[in-house]
Amino acid sequence: MTPQTLFDKIWDSHVVRSVEKGPDVLYIDQHFIHEVTSPQAFNGLKERGIPVFRPDKTLATADHNIPTKDQHLPIKDELSRNQVEKLAENCKKYGIEFFGLNHPKNGIVHVIGPELGYTLPGMTIVCGDSHTSTHGAFGTIAFGIGTSEVEMVLATQCVLQSKPKKMKISVSGLLQKGVTSKDLILHIISQLSTNGATGYFIEYSGSALKALSMEGRMTICNMSIEMGARGGLIAPDETTIKYLSQIPSLSGRSDFNSLLKNWKELKSDPGAVFDREHEFHANEIKPMITYGTNPGMGMAVDATIPLITSKSAGIASFIKSHEYMGFKPGMKILGHRVDYVFLGSCTNGRIEDIRAFTQLVKGKKKAPDVTALIVPGSKRVEQQAINEGLDKILKDAGFELRQPGCSSCLAMNEDKIPAGKFSVSTSNRNFEGRQGPGARTLLVSPLTAAAAAVTGKITDPRDLLND
């Protein structure tokens, strides 16, 4: 038999039928929905007069436009409130499990799926959200879809999809102290560019990936979409199995052992062929930061902004980006003023991220001119931070732990960064206006965010890490 990639194995085993000269009908094992991209899909079902085909394979949460303070009060913004209420209504009507505001399992869709044991190796997973790629960290085919496709999955548990090409990214060596998985993925994107993986599904491998925790792997897979990839996955290993074994609802299942056996077989065969391969070396990577308005415009935190050459095809876009950010080619941004710091999102809103941030700010004080938003990715993360006493350490340093949600990542709620302000953010997109009209976003790791929060300037976190 020809050696197969893990991606091929999972994809092929989920094809219900291949349409002649067309896409595949792909069966979906797990469907996640949220308030923003689902209402029109439910309207579609209603118009057609059809039910949700497999409500038990669908899970709903409210995350995108909810407040991160006083969640016990009604949502102030009328449209947002209406959207969340619509979702609750639809879930009730169609029998879908819904973790709404204040539910102990509520949180950002890509944080709760894995932590509650909904995301399992070998699955196909979709959600009306591009960062669905996050779930690939468990060895799944997980990708974002549009609302019409959400409607398809609600109606038939299937989606029509052309099979992407396969890319392998291997990272040898190990990350240095003070360098995180966020820096690794920002480095990869800066090398491959924001459309460097369009049309591909990535498999990440290599010693640097093996050494990462599940949280770290989720950060990597999360940002696959920022290179244009449909998604990215990592074959399950002992780290994956250990993580999953600690979820009571899973380890208590009578078929847990047979699941374990299946998961262990999920890997690419030796000699499997990829359409493209890239190699990186972890040891060389430094803490990263973005200086422009797409995630591909990144560099080491102590580097200078690259010059625009006449060969840069998108010269107009470069100039526009620099004007927006208030930066110039050739300039260093180390030491530059910071107004806002955002720790959170489905990229870096997990317990490890809050731990890393806390570890660095412990015993220090928030810089007086910095406004910081520390937003856990889920209720569970919030609870765990409190159990570990992280909220106290943060408080002593002048920070407040908020309630979970997407928050400043896309600023659909009140957590908007004002125009012109510099925001150091652990989220995934530095697009114009992403964190609020006119806001200037610099993407970093939780450690670099912490360093900025206590110094009020762009700082290399390695300078502040003791021992």
| 316 near other proteins (CB under 8 A) | yes
| 335 near other proteins (CB under 8 A) | no
Contact status, residue 281 vs residue 169, Cβ threshold 8 Å:
no
Choose which of 6, 409, 453, 458 interacts with ligand SF4 (CB under 6 A).
Answer: 409
239 binds, among other proteins, ligand SF4, none (CB under 5 to 8 A by kind): none
CA distances from 108 to 35, 223, 409, 447 (A): 11, 15, 11, 21
Residue 467 to residue 447: CA distance in whole angstroms:
15
Cα maximum dimension of the chain: 64
Contact status, residue 131 vs residue 93, Cβ threshold 8 Å:
no
Tokens 């992280």: give the residue: 390
Contact status, residue 204 vs residue 235, Cβ threshold 8 Å:
no
Q: What is the b/e burial string over 51-72, where b = at least 16 CB atoms within 10 angstroms of the residue's CB?
A: ebebbebbbbbbbbbbbbeebe
440 binds, among ligand SF4, other proteins, none (CB under 5 to 8 A by kind): none
346 binds, among other proteins, ligand SF4, none (CB under 5 to 8 A by kind): ligand SF4
**Binding string to other proteins for residues 257 to 296, with x set by CB under 8 A, is what?**
-x-----------------------------------x-x
Strands (E), 162-312: 165-172, 200-205, 231-233, 276-281, 288-290, 298-300
Choose which of 105, 278, 320, 364 interacts with other proteins (CB under 8 A).
Answer: 320
199 binds, among other proteins, ligand SF4, none (CB under 5 to 8 A by kind): other proteins
Choose which of 148, 207, 245, 387 interacts with other proteins (CB under 8 A).
Answer: 148
Q: Taking CB under 8 A as the criterion, which residues in 115-144 touch other proteins? A: 128-130, 132, 144
Of 182 and 429, nearer to other proteins (C-beta) is: 429
Contact status, residue 267 vs residue 6, Cβ threshold 8 Å:
yes
335 binds, among ligand SF4, other proteins, none (CB under 5 to 8 A by kind): none
| 62 near ligand SF4 (CB under 6 A) | no
Choose which of 158, 184, 333, 346 interacts with ligand SF4 (CB under 6 A).
Answer: 346
Give residues in contact with ligand SF4 (CB under 6 A): 63-64, 108, 110, 129, 131, 345-346, 406, 409-410, 427-428
